[in-house]
Structure 1
Amino acid sequence: MTTIIPAAATLEGKKGLVLGIANDQSIAWGCARAFRALGADLAVSYLNDKAKKFVEPLAHQLEAEIFEPVDVTGEGELKAMFDKIGEKWGKLDFALHSIAFAPKEDLHGRVVDCSREGFQQAMDVSCHSFIRMARYAEPLMKDGGSLFTMSYFGANRVIDNYGVMGPVKAALEASVRYLAAELGPKGIRVHAISPGPIKTRAASGIAHFDELMNKAAERAPEGRLVTIEEVGYTTAFLATDGAKGITGDTTYVDCGYSIIG
């Protein structure tokens, strides 16, 4: 029997950017695989030469048409990626921001004790870089599009050991709402995706993260943790025409953990 995928459930002919793949355990990797499985052509970034050896084989698997370094703290690197997309494709249909960072000494301490410099760095890398991404994507999304960023439940509830990233992710989710309102008239939708705890390289920097994961699995209605594949396919769906009526929200992909409180 031939399976027919409705046009609203495909990304065939769509062009997308994925920022933040570090390795094959990354949430961004789960999303990139789902985008590609639904037919999208991808541009993929890597952080630096050290990270390139881990990301390049994954970019080959994705048949990425553009593969460029992007350090959002580097002068002009993010804009250079969008310039490259403009030159090669002349358009962009969706972009994923899966980037976050806070200095360890600020992340592991109390929020009240965090340094000004650490807070500014966490906000710049984890939040303002998403705003910059939206600014560069806007002129390429001539027929509308979708922008995605990754949040966490700690944006709305106090989570032990999440520290300064809680206020930073709260700012990120507020930015999603404002960007959705500003870009909506151009048909550009903006989404925050909030996965449950997943053991990624970035998450390993959070103190007692294994304990956090165990608690989440115990409390989640499904009694388990979410996978990067599940996060990926939810995100990919939101990039399709079938999700054109959704924007500005935080979508939880956490096996129900966020409803428990």
Structure 2
Amino acid sequence: MLLSGKNAIIYGAGSIGGAIARAYAAEGARVFLAGRTRATLAAVAGPIGAEIAEVDALDERAVDEHADAVAATAGGIDISVNVIADHDVQGTPMTDMAPDDYLSPVVTNVRSKFLTARAAARHMKPRGSGVILTFGGSGDRTASGRFRLGGLQTAFEAVEAMRRQLATELGPYGIRVITLRTGGIPEAVPARYKGRAEIAARLAADTALGRAATLADVGRVAVFAASDHARSITGAALNMTCGAVLD
């Protein structure tokens, strides 16, 4: 198993976080799920034996205390994954948006990923190893304008800058920092969104392969990124956009 003996914290247990949690557990990791909704956490954790905690990733004290508790219980933190990307307003043209609606995903993404990365790194540095994964990524994706994503892509670009800086600062301690980048996952589009089928079709049409990544794909790539097979990769975005974004 690629992650046998590894302790992983995953912030966010929705579709993407759940897929990563299942993939990690299948590869032998001890999984700690953190999020704000216990019912969502429990639904993912039950079948895989993950441990759960209600944690607001925007709350500095809550994030630090949870990381301390995991490290004390499990003996350390090997992997930290933050897939939180909520508080975004989509479908509205930028010229019609209120400033707070545009900036909300930027603040949420930057603050939550800074806090969770910092908490994990403080435990990883003394051990001389660790992997910090974020979700999002940048690219010259023309479809982002068509989908009217508001401030979400701006948030992802800000996190990319954070990823590069963290990789530089933490590399001497053996800690790797990587972004998981997709061009959009049809399965992850909430059912409540109008035009969900149209969005899924457009996501696939924009790729070189004629299909978009699946949740299972995300889980497999996340396993690789956290494993020793990727020990030479840091400061990079792993491109699983199926060719929607070309490096």
| 1:215 Cα deviation from its structure 2 partner | 1.8
Q: Which residue of 2 aligns with 1:60?
A: 46
1:214-225 superposed matches below 5 A: 214-225=201-212
Q: What are the ranges of 5 or more consecutive residues in structure 2 without an aligned counterpart? A: none
Distance in 2, matches of 1:37 and 1:176, equals 27
1:205-244 superposed matches below 5 A: 208-244=195-231
1:34-82: CA deviation from partner (whole Å, max 9, x where unpaired): 111111111111323xxx2233132122211x31011223462222221
| 1:208 Cα deviation from its structure 2 partner | 4.6
The one of 49, 56, 69 equivalent to 2:54 is 69
Give the TM-score taking structure 1 as reference length: 0.83
Distance in 1, matches of 2:134 and 2:191, equals 19
Indicate the SS of the match to 1:258. Answer: coil
Q: Which residue of 2 aligns with 1:130?
A: 113
Aligned 8 A contact 2:6 2:29 in 1: yes
Off by >4 Å, runs of 4+ in structure 1: 200-209
The answer to whether residue 23 in structure 2 is matched with residue 31 in structure 1 is no
Give the TM-score taking structure 2 as reference length: 0.87
1:125-164 superposed matches below 5 A: 125-141=108-124, 142-152=127-137, 156-158=140-142, 159=144, 160=146, 161-164=148-151
Aligned 8 A contact 1:156 1:170 in 2: no
Distance in 1, matches of 2:62 and 2:236, equals 29
Equivalenced residues, count: 242
Indicate the SS of the match to 1:257. Answer: coil
Indicate the SS of the match to 2:186. Answer: coil
Aligned 8 A contact 1:19 1:98 in 2: yes
Distance in 1, matches of 2:68 and 2:17, equals 22
1:193-217: CA deviation from partner (whole Å, max 9, x where unpaired): 1123223566567775543321221
C-alpha spacing 1:185/1:226, structure 2 compared with 1 (3 Å): same
Aligned 8 A contact 1:110 1:164 in 2: no
Identity of aligned residues (%): 26
Aligned 8 A contact 2:57 2:116 in 1: no
| 1:144 Cα deviation from its structure 2 partner | 0.8
Q: Which residue of 1 aligns with 2:104?
A: 121
Distance in 2, matches of 1:96 and 1:206, equals 26
Q: Which residue of 1 aligns with 2:74?
A: 89
